Structures are given as C-alpha cells and as structure tokens.
Amino acid sequence: MKFVPSNIYHIYNQGNNQEAIFSSPDDYLYFLKKVRRLIYPVGEILAYNLMPNHFHFLLQATAISAEFYQLGNVKTNQLSNGFRLLLSEYAQHYNGANNRSGSLFRQKTKAKDLSESDNMDAALFCFNYIHNNASAAGLVEMSKDWNFCSLRDYLGLRNGTLCNKNLAFKLLGIDEDYIKEMALHFNQVPDRRSDP
C-alpha cells in the first residue's frame, strides 16, 4: 500500500472466506489495543468500525505513514507495516485462543484513496458508511449501540481517544450536531454540512 501524506484513506479487510475474525468482546478489545500500539502512532484515525467478520478505518496519512524503509528484501512504509503487524499479531492471538490455524484475514488489506475526488464528499460518505455499518448489517437497531465503533466517541457516550475528532470535523466540514443527526437516522445520511 502506498500512502500520500494528507490524503484520506478507507482501509478495510475481512475474514478469510468471510469467516468471523472476532468471537468475543475480548477479541475486539485486544485488536483495538494493537491498533493503538501499531496504527495510532503512524496515522490520524478519523473513524473505525470492527464488525464480526471485517473492519473499517478512515484515516489521514501523515509524513510518518508514507515514510518508506527497507524491511528485509521488501521496501515498505510505516502504515503498511503497521497493518501487516496488526493483522499478524492479532491472527496469532485469535488462532491460539480459538484452537484454530491458518490464515485469518484475506491476503490483501484494501486502502482506497478518497482524496482523488475534488471534494471531501467521498470521505464524508465513507465516514457515515463506517459508522452506520453495524445497524445496516442488523447487529443493532441504532448505530450508537454498537460498542466497537468510533461513533460512540463522537456522540460522547464513551471517552475514547483513538480518533482525532477535531481533525475529522475540520477535514469533513461537519460538527457535533451533524454527528447527532446522523446517529438518529442510522441508515440515512443528513444532507447538510456545517459552514467551514
């Protein structure tokens, strides 16, 4: 994965053969601890959602994210290697805890550059999509009720610090009122943005 500093990316992967990658609340929390250690220092996380068989992140690349270095025979960057380590370490944990072996995730983690369009509408759509994913999948009636999603932090239901909320507000041109309105209409997206 190649990253351009200041660009916004939708990063996602799912379980191999669409299998579950989380089987208990402890699994989700372990994954998030690894995210804090391996991803948080090398990218600005704007949103995330961990679903039973896949995950989504919206993040802004930084100069550190895009920094290339040699890792054995491979040239990689900080963010790509962070996700590689995240998935590898988590898979070892999950396989050990669930008496399982083999690949847990699909081979390639996807990173879609949302900054290629002329405006931030693609990033805003993705922000809403990520936060509404659990209710759209029928896991909860209201998106705010899914514990493993950054929406709870944006709504003040939890004091999470993984996401850079102020940066998300600035980049996406939204505010706390927008978040509250979006959460009320879990599968509908409000059609307004705050003034910059």
Residue 30: name the closest of 74, 89, 84 by CA: 89
pLDDT tens, position by position, 19-43? 999 999 999 999 999 999 999 999 9
CA separation for the pair 59, 66 (Å, rounded): 13
What angle, rounded to 10 degrees, do the helices at 176-184 and 121-136 form? 40
**Greater pLDDT, 149 or 72:** 149
- DSSP conformation letters of 37-105: HHTGGGEEEEEEEEETTEEEEEEEE-HHHH-EEEETTEEEEHHHHHHHHHHHHHHHHHHHHTT--S--B
CA separation for the pair 94, 15 (Å, rounded): 12
Q: Which two tokens stand for residue 173?
A: 């041109």
pLDDT tens, position by position, 46-88? 999 999 999 999 999 999 999 888 888 888 899 999 999 999 9
Q: Cα(first)–Cα(last) distance of the chain, in Å?
A: 31
Averaged pLDDT of the chain: 91
Structural domains in the chain, sorted by start: 8-184 (3.30.70.1290)
Q: Which two tokens stand for residue 40?
A: 């948080």
Inform me whether the pLDDT recorded for 195 exceeds 80. no
- Is 112 strand, coil or helix? strand
pLDDT tens, position by position, 156-193? 999 999 999 999 999 999 999 999 988 887 654 444 44
Cβ count within 10 A of residue 67: 14
Q: Give, as one character, the DSSP assignment of residue 32.
A: H
CA separation for the pair 38, 30 (Å, rounded): 12
